[in-house]
Amino acid sequence: MKPRLRFAPSPSGYLHIGGARTALFNWLWARSQGGTFVLRVEDTDQERSSLDSVRAILDALKWLGLDWDEGPEVGGPFGSYFQSERKALYRESVERLIREGKAYRCYCTKEELDRAREALKQQNPKAAFVYPGTCRDRHDEPALPHVVRFKTPRDGSTDFVDKVFGAISTPNHAQQDFVLVRTDGYPLYNLAAVVDDHAMEISLVARGRDHIGNTPQQVLLYNAFGWKAPEFAHLPMMLNAKGEKLSKRHASVSVQDYRERGFSPMGVLNYLVRFGWSFGDQEIFARSELIRVFDWERVNKSDGKFDEKKFADVAFEHLKRDDLTSLDEYVDWVRPFLTARGIENPSNELLHAAVPGIRERARTLVDAASDLEFYFRATPEMDDKARQKFLTAESAPRLKSLSSALAEVTSWTASTLEEAGKRFAEREGLELKHFAQAARVALTGRSASPPLFDVMAVLGREQTLARLARGIELAGA
Ligand code: GLU
């Protein structure tokens, strides 16, 4: 049987990078096994869920290339894939448990429970409050406000084998009669997740280990319904340098932030995959390679420390290497960053010619757009310092004769231009350094750029000569 996996985000914000890591592991396994990756939106908490969040999460997943086979926008045989549209199913399921004596309506008010909690605190400040089961055998009065609680067996234990953490056994007396349905009729997470994972025929549930404490309750529910539980794999956490749960107080934690900072999708995924999975010492993976080598045997339980510097290094490596990011991809990705700098419709041809010269150095697509900008401005913005330093009266006649020498070049390539430059230097008794910086500033507006003759080749004859002419003017000739 091909595995069916799911990612089940609650749409109460952006896609957290921890969530993206969870989605990635599920997606990788589905893709490597020819299985199915389901996206289910857990939006039963109306106050915290929003459509904007749903959109943000779907966008981030699409950008990462974590495509889903069933779920919002694509549909599928087990829809709806929004929990808010599946309430009838949760209601029926819970009614069944009540009928079978496996769940009960609890009429205890919040005030009563608070009083009991307070009384316990007086007696023993350290004891954790456990619902005492007051309504377990109470007569049903469905018209009164109530929650529905699961009737947890008092003896025995609930056991499951986690694919990462191994055998986990929880004594039932340690679990309380947990709430399945709130007073307002909304199902709580454990109930909805179990009903859906069963209905959607999920075979393996992989999620953060912050959910491991929910799993015994879910297993109790599977047993009560008489359903076979899926396999479970809990994944270690991403922590900050101090070993605390990673939050936006410590670092950028939304996928969107990294997108805006100019990381590539695979740069992000490659860094995230190392949280809980490793493949020897290998650091860098192409997407297809990850799909090929990912397996559960190599998933480990040690939490990982998030390191933004490392993240940026991995992301840069992906952008730099053309075996990881093709020129076409690079061009597509950098385009919006150029548009953001006010360059409308940057020419495809020019981008293809210019990107190879800057990708070695540009650590992000934001840097890349900044490095590329001068190519797209008819008159490049001049850095004042560079201009004052290099476009001097002394440089003007040199630039002039360089320009005439270049104008003679018939086949306009970096190597023929370089040769022409060298011949010119020899003739004038100059060295490259005597005119290269002035030419660079004239062509690019800056004192640092890709190699000079490469820049000329990419700019083309007309632009090169026009920019040199302007440089000569600025130099005051
Ligand atoms: N909606 C839950 C969350 O976002 C899903 C947990 C699970 O995968 O079961 O944490």
CATH number of the domain residue 254 falls in:
3.40.50.620
Q: Quick check: is 260 in a domain?
A: yes
Cis peptide preceding 411, ω within 30 of 0:
no
pLDDT at residue number 68: 98
Instruction: Tell me: do 42 and 146 sit in the same domain.
Output: no
Residue 378 CA to chain centroid, in angstroms?
37
* Residue of 4, 16, 189, 191 with the most ligand 1 atoms within 8 Å of its CB, for mutation: 189
Asked whether residue 477 carries a pLDDT value surpassing 80, the answer given is: no
| Ligand 1 atom, smallest distance to 210 CA | 10
Interval 208-218 mean pLDDT: 97
Asked if residue 213 has pLDDT above 60, the reply is yes
Residues with a CB atom less than 6 Å from ligand 1: 8-10, 42, 193, 207, 211
**What pLDDT, on a 0 to 100 scale, did the predictor assign at position 274?**
95
Torsion angle defined by CA atoms of residues 336, 337, 341 and 345, in that order, rounded to the nearest 10 degrees: -30
Mean per-residue pLDDT for 381-385? 93
In a domain, 226, yes or no: yes
Q: For the segment 17-41, what is each residue's pLDDT rounded down to a tens digit? A: 999 999 999 999 999 999 999 999 9
359: left (phi over 0), alpha (psi -120 to 50) or beta: alpha
Contact 331, 348 (CB under 8 A): yes
Q: Whose Cα sits closest to atom 4 in ligand 1?
A: 9
Distance CA 399, CA 292 (A): 55
Q: Are residues 392 and 282 in the same domain?
A: no
Same domain, 155 and 244: no
How many Å lie between the centroid of ligand 1 and the Cα of residue 243?
A: 22
155-173 average pLDDT score: 97
| Least confident window among 132-146, 212-226, 367-381 | 132-146
Same domain flag for 223 and 178: yes
Atom of ligand 1 nearest to the CA of 193: 9
State in Å: Cα 44 to ligand 1 middle.
Answer: 12
CA of 202 to the centre of ligand 1 (A): 14
Query: In 252-268, which positions are buried (b, 16+ CB within 10 angstroms) versus exposed (e)?
Result: ebbbeebbebbbbbbbb
Residue 182, by phi and psi: left (phi above 0), alpha (psi -120 to 50) or beta?
Answer: beta
- Cα(159)–Cα(352) distance, rounded to whole angstroms? 58
Res 247: pLDDT: 83
On the 0-12 / 13-18 / 19+ scale of CB atoms within 10 A, 366 is middle
Instruction: Tell me the CA–centroid distance for residue 210 and ligand 1, in Å.
Output: 9
74, 75, 80, 81 alpha-carbon torsion, rounded to 10°: -40
Q: Which of 40, 42, 61, 86 to mutate to test the pocket of ligand 1 (most atoms within 8 A of CB)?
A: 42
Question: What's the pLDDT at 417?
Answer: 97
Q: Is 455 found in the same domain as 388?
A: yes
CA of 301 to the centre of ligand 1 (A): 19
Between 235-249, 278-292, 349-363, the lowest mean confidence (pLDDT) is in: 235-249
Asked whether residue 149 falls in the same domain as residue 227, the answer is yes
3-state secondary structure of 144: coil
Residues 213 and 188 in one domain: yes
- In the DSSP assignment, the letter for residue 299 is B
Of these residues, 248, 310, 385, 422, which one is catalytic?
Answer: 248
Residue pLDDT, tens place only, 43-80:
998 889 999 999 999 999 999 999 999 999 999 999 99
Please say which residue of 316, 349, 368 terminates a domain.
Answer: 316
Residues 197 and 61 both lie in one domain: no
Per the prediction, the chain carries an average pLDDT of 95
pLDDT in tens, 422-464: 999 999 998 888 899 999 999 999 999 999 999 999 999 999 9
**pLDDT at residue number 410:** 92
Q: Which domain holds residue 399?
A: 379-477
Which of 235, 269, 300 corresponds to the end of one domain? 235
**245 part of the active site:** no
Model confidence over 152-163: pLDDT tens digits?
A: 999 999 999 999
Alpha-carbon span 69 to 64, nearest angstrom? 15
- Mark whether 296 and 248 lie in a shared domain: yes
Q: Which helix (H) or strand (E) holds 109?
A: none
Cα-based torsion angle of the residue sequence 418, 421, 426, 431 in order, rounded to the nearest 10 degrees: -90
